Amino acid sequence: MKVLLCWLVLLVSLPTFAQRTFTNPIKASGPDPWVYRHDGCYYYMNTTGRNLTLWRTRNVADLATAEQKVVFTPPPNTAYSRDLWAPEIHRIGGKWYIYFAADSVNNQTHRIWVVENASADPFAGEWVLKGKLADPGDHWAIDLTVLEHRGKLYAAWSGWAGAKNGQQDIYIAQLKNPWTMQGDRVRISQPELPWERHGHTSDGAQMNGEPPVVLVNEGPEFLQNGNKTFIVYSANACWLDYCMGLLEHTGGSLLDPKNWRKHPQPVFTQNPENSVWAPGHGGFFTASDGRTPWMIYHANPTETDGCGNRRAPHIQPFSWNPDGSPNFGKPVPKTAMAVPE
């Protein structure tokens, strides 16, 4: 039914021969955007803070008017009732899964949680909580994503080394199944280069218990090009000059930190002349032509908008460098562009 729905929209729009366009942002608000393309449909999610909302559209540029449904609302007074962040929908082994970070009181207790839906249509059926997806040490964790690679399932996310805030690193682990970790986590990135160490907190945040500086690597997303595997991540505090960095897998086990190379400079930064500030939490998809790669990311319209709901989803095509690495260019102007057909 979902496939017929998406292609029905296409058939209705066929008489319009003029090239369709869109202008960023594609939705007025949408922190931590995620797109997953399946059977002619784009499924989209973003942080709402209170529930898991799913959008569906044939063309991601039409997101502002897309069908939407709240598919899961956590019960009150649980370990996953509050601050639901960065949800991602994936289809694994013929079932749908949504990964999200949530806590019980405040940011100090964030962990990753997983819900499952066995229906072929994620807008139908029942979303069932499978439980908490945690490393053996049960550390603080957000922004988890997954990758099926050479017959194995992996997860990457942002976490603390210990029990206190102050630095977020990128970790990876193999999964036994979509909701259970196999073995311990491995750290493959930390904010060590000068351009990813901007994290001074405000006086107000410090009064609320935050440390004077929070160094950030977060929002990891896998990106593959042929036999090359990358992780694009977000660096710096989201209330400052948020940007994207790149990890490149150099061969061998994904679980060996020595097999990941960090590119020395950021690969996507804010563009004040185009009024695109603090771009981050990028995701990737291929247009329906099967060839053109696109990125989705959130950004602020002004320099002082911080980490709130002013962050809105933007999309733009990108290309590949001769060495196979991604070339994202700069955030494009807020002018009309051809839709990703």
Burial class (CB in 10 A: 0-12, 13-18, 19+), 242: buried
Closest CA to 108 of 142, 132, 144: 142
- DSSP annotation string for 183-247: EEEEEEE-S-SGGG---BPPHHHHHTT--SB-EEEEEEEEEEETTEEEEEEEES-TTS--EEEEE
Distance separating alpha carbons of residues 94 and 103, to the nearest angstrom: 29
Distance separating alpha carbons of residues 170 and 201, to the nearest angstrom: 21
Would residue 32 show up in a list of annotated catalytic residues for this protein?
Answer: yes
Q: Determine which one of 88, 103, 135, 218 is catalytic.
A: 218
Closest CA to 87 of 30, 128, 130: 30
Residue 225: count other Cβ atoms within 10 Å of its Cβ. Answer: 13
Distance separating alpha carbons of residues 249 and 261, to the nearest angstrom: 6
Given the structure tokens 């898991």, which residue do they identify? 52
Would residue 218 show up in a list of annotated catalytic residues for this protein?
Answer: yes
* DSSP β-bridge partners for residue 319: 327
Total count of residues recorded for the chain: 341
Per-residue CA distances from 334 to 153, 276, 311, 329 (Å): 38, 9, 15, 15
Contacts 24+ apart (CB under 8 A), 92-95: 92/146, 92/148, 92/153, 92/178, 93/178, 95/178
Distance separating alpha carbons of residues 15 and 19, to the nearest angstrom: 12
Q: HSE-up of 62 (CA within 13 Å, CB side)? A: 17
Secondary structure of residue 5 in the 3-state scheme: helix
Token digits of residue 91: 């289809």
Residues acting as catalytic residues = 32, 218
